[in-house]
Amino acid sequence: MSLRLLVSSTTGFLILFLINTDASLQSLSTLRTGKFFPFFGVGLVRFENGPCGGNSTLEGTCYTRRQCALADGVGTARCANGIGVCCIIQRTCGEVSSLNNTYFVSPGYPNAYTNTSTCTFTIRKCGPDICQVRIDFLTFNLAQPNENGTCVTDAFYVTGGASNVPILCGENSGQHIYVDFNMANDIVLTISTSASTIASRAWNIKISQIGCNCPTRAPSGCLQYYTDLTGTVNSFNYGSAGSQTGTRQLVNENYGVCVAMQAGYCGITWMQSGGAYSFTVTNNTYTSVGDGTIGTGASSVLGSNCTTDFVVIPAPIYINGTLVNTDRFCGNGFPPVTSYSKPFVLTVVTNQNEVNDTGNRGFSLTYNQVPCTGANLIG
């Protein structure tokens, strides 16, 4: 794509034309910073290639019709006061994209994918000022792990980035991760599927690129990042154990879940999201489970007894005000605790062996940020 400047000899107006000399996506990606479009005969019109509401479920990017066609996108609505079109961009196995708000979908999506394959998708920076991507699993249904929690049938991998992303499988719709770019390297998403089991697989994964100085960029070391005053954090593949004899919890995980501290809030309270089975990370769920309430004989385990699978919350305090005196929580129950340690972070650790953790679902924890008072302004 090249620019030509013409000055009208009769009007003296400066008119800027975009002349297409390369129909490749690489050429299109350069338009991210060149946001000028011609309005012939009356001067210069500009609009931003920003996000727009494509339809009820997908977010698009505001492009000209020609840009959207070059990107092999689908225009779903008008934008920029009717000058542009809200362009939905979808890619599938073996493709590359340097365009923001790209959707990586399974072949034939939304139909179930039953083939055996190694499907890769490459994320390329859309500009030199990009440092990170947010990957949203709008739909993520793969085969379950084996009874040991290992993704042997289907698996999702992230390579090339600077972040440590665990191998994922199972059901993760609604989850998200943040991945840092590693200098100039591409980030590659790989989904491997096997014919050893019949699974109704499908995925629709949104990739949003984040600038180095963008306020929405997740802090270093945060695989997940939440910004609301209250929310629910689920472990990967959390859910009902169903007929599975082993565990839904995935092995070999070690990652941070961060919560952005809002102005006027100095602490964060964590508790089970509801139901006795919403924290089952170690031991046999079928023989011992509870809500973690202290003094009831429920199944929470603390401190040095948590050596295999556990979550870490810095400097926790029971909601009755007494110190916990440890930061590790495991077992099959979780006591409500508050932490004034900053930044707000929850660390998740699982080992390589889930054989004895029969029926475990993982965890679902709700957080609420605590307003500052005179007693907790310093932390």
* Model pLDDT for residues 354-373, shown as the tens digit of each residue: 877 888 899 999 999 999 98
pLDDT of 261 reads 97
Relative to beta strand 84-91, strand 59-63 is antiparallel
52 & 108 share domain: no
**pLDDT in the model for residue 82:** 85
Per the prediction, the chain carries an average pLDDT of: 83
Q: Which of 57, 91, 125 is the last residue before a domain boundary?
A: 91
Mean pLDDT value of segment 156-184: 95
Q: Out of 43-52, 156-165, 270-279, which region has the weakest mean confidence (pLDDT)?
A: 43-52
Predicted pLDDT at 374? 66
Q: What is the pLDDT of residue 290?
A: 64
Task: Give yes or no: residues 40 and 120 share one domain.
Answer: no
Query: Residue 329 above 90 pLDDT?
Result: yes
Same domain, 330 and 191: no
Check pLDDT > 50 for residue 1: no
Distance of CA 1 to the CA centre of its chain: 33
Q: Quickly list DSSP for 5-61.
A: EEE-TTT--EEEEEE----SHHHHHGGGT--EEEETTTEEEE----EEE-SSS-EEE
Tokens (6 digits) for 57: 């479920």
190-213 residue pLDDT tens: 999 987 666 789 999 999 999 999
Looking at residue 79, what is its pLDDT? 87
pLDDT at 125 over 80: yes
Domain end residue (candidates: 213, 234, 265) = 213
Question: Do residue 85 and residue 124 come from a single domain?
Answer: no
Give all strands (DSSP E) within 124-237, no chain letters. 130-141, 155-159, 176-180, 187-193, 202-211, 222-226, 230-234
Residue 250 in tokens? 């995935």
pLDDT in tens, 231-274: 999 999 998 765 556 789 999 999 999 999 999 999 999 999 97
- The percent of the chain in helix, strand and coil, each rounded to the nearest 5, is 5, 40, 55
In this structure, the answer to whether residues 103 and 81 fall within a common structural domain is no
- Token pair 């690129």 is found at 209
* 76-96 average pLDDT score: 90
pLDDT value of position 243 = 53
**What pLDDT was estimated at residue 285?**
79
Host domain of residue 186: 92-213
- The total of structural domains in the chain comes to 3
Q: Examine the domain organization and report whether 106 and 85 are in the same domain.
A: no
End-to-end CA distance of the chain: 53
Same-domain status, 263 and 151: no
pLDDT, average across residues 141-155: 93
CB 261 within 8 A of CB 344: yes
Write down the residue that tokens 């979808």 correspond to.
90
Shared domain for 230 and 353, answered yes or no, is yes
Q: What is the CATH number of the domain that holds 247?
A: 2.60.120.290
Residue 159, SS3 per DSSP: strand
Higher pLDDT, 201 or 26: 201
Looking at the predicted structure, is the pLDDT value of residue 34 above 60?
no
pLDDT at 377: 57
The closest alpha carbon to 244, from 112, 145, 354, belongs to: 145
Mention every residue, 6+ apart, whose C-beta is less than 8 A from residue 330: 281, 282, 301, 302, 305, 306, 308, 309, 310, 311
Strands of 82-186, DSSP E? 84-91, 95-97, 102-105, 117-123, 130-141, 155-159, 176-180
118 and 231 both lie in a single domain = no
Same domain for 139 and 206, yes or no, is yes
- Among the residue ranges 13-27, 132-146, 214-228, 247-261, the one predicted with the least confidence is 13-27
Is residue 139 located within the same domain as residue 34?
no
Instruction: Return the higher-pLDDT residue of 12 and 354.
Output: 354
Query: What per-residue confidence (pLDDT) applies to 358?
Result: 81
Say if residue 215 is preceded by a cis peptide, omega within 30 of 0.
no
Q: Looking at residues 328-335, what average pLDDT do you find?
A: 92
Residue ending a domain, among 61, 91, 121, is: 91
Q: Which backbone phi and psi does 68 adopt, to 5 degrees? A: -60, -40
Mean pLDDT across the stretch 68-77?
Answer: 88
Residues 85 and 97 in one domain: no
